[in-house]
Structure 1
Amino acid sequence: MLPLILLLLFSVSADAYTRGESLRELRKLMQQQDEQEALVNDFQTDVNLWAQSLEQFGQEFLHFVEHCRHLGSYCEQRKVQRRLRGLRHTYSQLRAQLEAVEVKYARRISNHEDFEPTLQAVEDVLKQYDETLRLVNMEIYKLVEQ
């Protein structure tokens, strides 16, 4: 009878240990999932802040082009070049900020389905800005001379 009781006690304690271990693993997985969700939310917040900065840059860029397009506007070459350098500097800062966001989250977010499409869309918009900035840079002297 004693061996049966000992066997029963060992099986109950082993089963309790297994359940306790399972609960710890479950808690650990839930914590990892919560951390990933928080990272994705932080990533989206950072990208939204970056997009707002890009939008502000776009408004400044549009204002600059529209101002110098009008006949009789006071856009002498030196001022235009200085303003264009400022816009290029802002653009470079935005590109660096995007790269910093990418580096910050690239290895930390395990589900790249949340990460890569957003970054690709943002980079596509940034390429459009880059192409437009290059076009304006090439045409700036024509605008100033008019």
Structure 2
Amino acid sequence: MRVILQRSGKASVTVEGEVTGSIEKGYVLLVGITHDDTEQDADYIAKKVSGLRLWEDEEGKMNHSIEEVDGAILSVSQFTLYGDVKKGRRPSFIEAARPDKAEPIWNYFNNALRSQGLVVETGIFGAMMEVDLMNDGPVTIIIESK
């Protein structure tokens, strides 16, 4: 499982002109799932996300977690995180899990974040989405379960 975490001042996702999820302050998570990912991978990343200290304290050090700053999560499924561009000019997505495998794990992941006490908004799995975010910092972290 691969997640791109972007610390955000505000963010939203729109599908067919309708906002499906939005947050004011928190993390935008772009979530990629591969063939051998399991609920254990989702649990690992959910715990990592909830515990990361990526928000500044009074001294300007990254010392506060998302929960400590009352932040929220905007989770967006993104199979293109497993795109391979080593050969040719068109990416190969054979490492991305098929939707029937990926969607249940993505849903499980979002619920695992919620069980950590976080507010989680989402896009729509498999939909063409427009993600609008204000990257704060900028802070961008790559988290992998393997």
TM-score range, shorter chain: under 0.3
Between 1 and 2, higher relative CO (CA 8 Å, sep ≥ 6) is seen in: 2
TM-score (norm 2): 0.26
Greater Cα radius of gyration, structure 1 or 2: 1
